[in-house]
A and B are shown apart, each in its own frame.
Chain A
Amino acid sequence: MFRFEHVSQQPLEDLNFTIEKKDQVILFGPSGAGKSTLLFLLNRLNDPEKGTIYFKDAPISEHPVTELRKKVGLVLQAPNLFPGTVLDNLKYGPSLFDEWQEEDGRRLLDYVQLPSSYLERNVDQLSGGEKQRVSLARTLANSPDVLLLDEPTSALDYRTAEEIEEVLEGLIQEHELTMVMVTHNLNQARRLGTRGLFVADGKLQEDGTIPEMLENPETERLREFLEQ
């Protein structure tokens, strides 16, 4: 799906790895290690300073950028909903490509386990957890092949975070999505991820399966991180 060849973008240097279709990647590491930067590169909200990223075997810059962003959905840490109703938010993406159908609203809310009565609700009236669900549904509305998640539960309380995790778990399995998720929460990593990428000190330090990485870290740097 994605291939990184000698990619550098502050603070990350010389990244080389691939993300295969249906991979459920957890991107983790200390704050400021460049995890969000990496997600921005995948959605092309930024371009790398050096190196090339390939998406489906062609350099990412050769894909029409709006089409690429539609296929590679990004959920940001804060929901960043647009003013208006839940429906306005859900149809935003598909309307850009003339793909919105009336019945999509209910289906999308169903994915994130919200009742369809929420469609007409103003986003100002939603709780933090509900907002994040709508934000997730808004990204799913574009039917992306890849779902990028930038700490989607970090601003939520434990219980709400767990509910969102459940939603995500169901969605990934059902839609066979490729997922790249940044998280600080190792339990969440265990639950949602199959593969781990550990970045620290400007480098990709370790790349492996999640259980293996968390139980038997290979590098000293990851061991240090897990002990903290």
Chain B
Amino acid sequence: MAPEISNQSLLFLVIFVIVPLALSYFYQLGVSKSVLWSTFRGTVQLFAIGYILTFLFELPASYGIPFMLSVMIIIATFHARQRGKELPYVGYVLFAGLVAIEAGVLGLWLIFDMIQFKPSEVIPMSGMVIGNSMTAMGLALERMKSEFKENNGRLLAALSLGAEPKQASHLIVQKTLHASLIPNVDRLKTIGLVQLPGMMTGLILGGVSPVMAIKYQLVISLSIFSSVSLSSMFITLAMYRYFFNREKQLLQSEEEIRSSRS
């Protein structure tokens, strides 16, 4: 039987909020407001999504799934876009990348019969893939920007020797991809040893046998691993060119990047 937490028990979660609040108060960290706000916002968001999911899960798959996936991808696009707002077309590229990755992953799941085309299976699983891809793309954008800044001299040296922008930024693309893959490789290496992954924990608490939970976890972990790798590669390879103008000159400031393609 699935476990249930009563609303009264849930109220005692207040204790978990009081701890950071107290810390903030005693050490004058000035974060009380944001602790309270984020707790409130998180709670409302989760309850809202709970009711929305209940509603969506009852919808026919044929339009419930496309509707929810579109909403998730659009929100993810806007969120990841914050990390590279000054880059031209970044929103479109992110959107296209997320759609392609979600379509590919979902296609494989369905073809190989790993999950069923039901809102209650597709939406939570896709949410994890889209969410992780969004984070990976945002991080790759940020990393790429800082690598471009840090390696300004090397890029100029490469260009001055006659390198095409693609050749000059090879090192940066390499470093960005490396940095985005490493945490995933590490996570996969220690999976189940340091902490039980969230999805597995959820399934076990829900009464599913640990071996079954692990199967699901494997599907999701490997799907995330590959979609995160693809996301960083896609966004890096699609965006590095916007750090140069058509004359193969390195753009030095955000203003230059913003105005270069307009």
Which A74-104 residues sit within 8 Å CB-CB of chain B? 74, 76, 78, 80-83, 92-93, 96-97
State how many residues of chain A have any CB contact under 8 Å with chain B: 27
Query: Any chain B CB within 8 A of the CB of A105?
Result: no
**Residue from A43, A67, A81 whose CB has the most chain B CB atoms within 10 Å:** A43
Shortest Cβ distance from residue B147 to the other chain A in the assembled complex, whole angstroms = 13
CB of B161 within 8 A of CB of A69, answer yes
Other-chain contact of B160, A47, A74, A78, A82 (Cβ < 8 Å): A74
CB of A139 within 8 A of CB of B161, answer yes
CB of A80 within 8 A of CB of B156, answer yes
CB of B154 within 8 A of CB of A70, answer no
CB of B153 within 8 A of CB of A78, answer yes
Q: In which size bucket is the chain B interface? A: 10 to 19
A28-56 interface mask toward B, CB cutoff 8 Å, 1 = contact, 0 = none? 00000000000000011111000000000
Which A166-224 residues sit within 8 Å CB-CB of chain B? none
Query: Any chain A CB within 8 A of the CB of B75?
Result: no
Shortest Cβ distance from residue A99 to the other chain B in the assembled complex, whole angstroms = 10
Residues of A within 8 A of B157 (CB): 74, 76, 80-82, 135, 138
CB of A66 within 8 A of CB of B163, answer yes
CA distance A139 to B160 in the complex (A): 9
CA distance A46 to B250 in the complex (A): 8
Query: Any chain B CB within 8 A of the CB of A153?
Result: no
Other-chain contact of A45, B154, B160, B164 (Cβ < 8 Å): B160
Query: Any chain B CB within 8 A of the CB of A24?
Result: no
CA distance A47 to B157 in the complex (A): 17
CA distance A142 to B163 in the complex (A): 12
Query: Any chain A CB within 8 A of the CB of B70?
Result: no
Query: Any chain B CB within 8 A of the CB of A65?
Result: yes
Other-chain contact of A82, B154, B159, B249, B250 (Cβ < 8 Å): B154
A-side residues, CB < 8 A to B, are 43-47, 61, 65-67, 69-70, 73-74, 76, 78, 80-83, 92-93, 96-97, 135, 138-139, 142
